[in-house]
Amino acid sequence: MTFRLSKQKTQVNFMYSDKRFILIIVVSLFVTTILFSFSPIKQDNSYHLFADSRDLFRLPNFLNLITNLPFLIVGFLGIRLTSSAKLRPQDNPIKIIYLMFFSGILLTCLGSSYYHYSPDNSTLFWDRLPMTISFMAFFCVVVGKCVSDRAGLILLWPLSALGIISLIYWHSYDDLRPYILVQFLPILLIPFILWLYNGNQNNCNFVWLVLGFYLLSKIAESQDSKVYENLHFISGHSLKHLLAGLASYIVYASIKPKQTIEQER
């Protein structure tokens, strides 16, 4: 027991004395300072006006509702896998982080569906809350795999708390700056971490795919109307849900033991 505590303490001390880690802290502080030098950013009410608002089966915004199903499926599969003893040995130390990630993904289906049923700032809070939990958990997965298991576990709870606080702040003061920070700073830092800590040697290649599909989902969201005008059957926002769901599935596929994949085939 003493040896284990000593080893964990050594890992933490190394993390704080590592120049690469210090560089990440400096970049984080710089981005935070730049963002908060701007005036408060209010939620634009036009955000709630989606290109595809068609009703079906008496459900408003039907496609924006139904395209949340991938989050439910991937979340359920991920929770079932991380709750079992089937994880690969290299992923087992950060099992709780994966469990947090997939729990957030599953709840995203519920929160996003609730929001799209009646879009406004109040329901948007419940849409963003589980997404924020997943963002923070995914960042901790990358830290856990590339820096150290202990570092990822140490960061999980404070970062999750910061994510929740950022949403409470937005909802209370109509200022999106903290939420923008917790959503996009991890996405900015992850490539730094992969580069500085040789992510390719730590089985982190899947992270690039996740980032790629997440970026595509944000592009689709920003082009909501144009996608709908060109494709007619689906809007950019609905496409965003499908691409983000695919990104979450890539995380699930990255931790599935090969035996499980072969059995499913």
Spatial CB neighbours of 209, under 8 Å, sequence gap ≥ 6:
247, 250
Q: How confident is the model at residue 208 (pLDDT cuts 50, 70, 90)?
A: very high
Asked, for residue 19, whether it belongs to a domain, the answer is: no
In whole angstroms, how large is the CA radius of gyration of the chain? 19
Q: From residue 33, how far is each of 19, 50, 160 by CA, in Å?
A: 21, 33, 21
CA dihedral sign of residues 25, 26, 27, 29: positive
Per residue in 62-97, pLDDT (tens digit) is 999 999 999 999 999 999 999 887 777 777 889 999
Per residue in 127-181, pLDDT (tens digit) is 999 999 999 999 999 999 888 889 899 999 999 999 999 999 999 999 999 999 9
In terms of pLDDT, which residue wins out, 209 or 260?
Answer: 209
**What's the rounded Cα separation, in Å, for the pair 192 and 206?**
15
Of 95, 102, 112, which Cα lies nearest the Cα of 79?
102
Q: From residue 195, how far is each of 20, 38, 204 by CA, in Å?
A: 10, 30, 11
Asked, for residue 251, whether it belongs to a domain, the answer is: yes
Domain at 195, CATH number? 1.20.1070.10
Asked, for residue 125, whether it belongs to a domain, the answer is: yes
DSSP result, the chain: -HHHHHHHHHHHHHHHH-HHHHHHHHHHHHHHHHHHTSPP-PPPGGGG--S----BTTBTTHHHHHTTHHHHHHHHHHHHHHTTT-S-TTTGGGHHHHHHHHHHHHHHHHHHHHHHHS-SHHHHHHHHHHHHHHHHHHHHHHHHHHT-HHHHHHHHHHHHHHHHHHHHHHHHH---HHHHHHHHHHHHHHHHHHHHTTGGGGT-HHHHHHHHHHHHHHHHHHTHHHHHHHHSS--HHHHHHHHHHHHHHHHHHHHS-HHHHHHH-
**What's the rounded Cα separation, in Å, for the pair 235 and 63?**
8
Q: What is the pTM of this model?
A: 0.86
Asked, for residue 70, whether it belongs to a domain, the answer is: yes
Q: How confident is the model at residue 189 (pLDDT cuts 50, 70, 90)?
A: very high
Predicted confidence (pLDDT) at residue 248 exceeds the cutoff of 70:
yes
Asked, for residue 28, whether it belongs to a domain, the answer is: no
Answer whether 69's CB lies under 8 Å from 241's CB: no
Asked, for residue 85, whether it belongs to a domain, the answer is: yes
- Please give the tally of structural domains in the chain: 1
Asked, for residue 209, whether it belongs to a domain, the answer is: yes
Q: How confident is the model at residue 199 (pLDDT cuts 50, 70, 90)?
A: low
- Per-residue pLDDT, 262: 45
Asked, for residue 122, whether it belongs to a domain, the answer is: yes
Of 79, 90, 88, which Cα lies nearest the Cα of 145?
90
Show the domain range for 182.
57-264
Q: How confident is the model at residue 222 (pLDDT cuts 50, 70, 90)?
A: very high
Q: How confident is the model at residue 4 (pLDDT cuts 50, 70, 90)?
A: very low
- Per-residue pLDDT, 75: 97
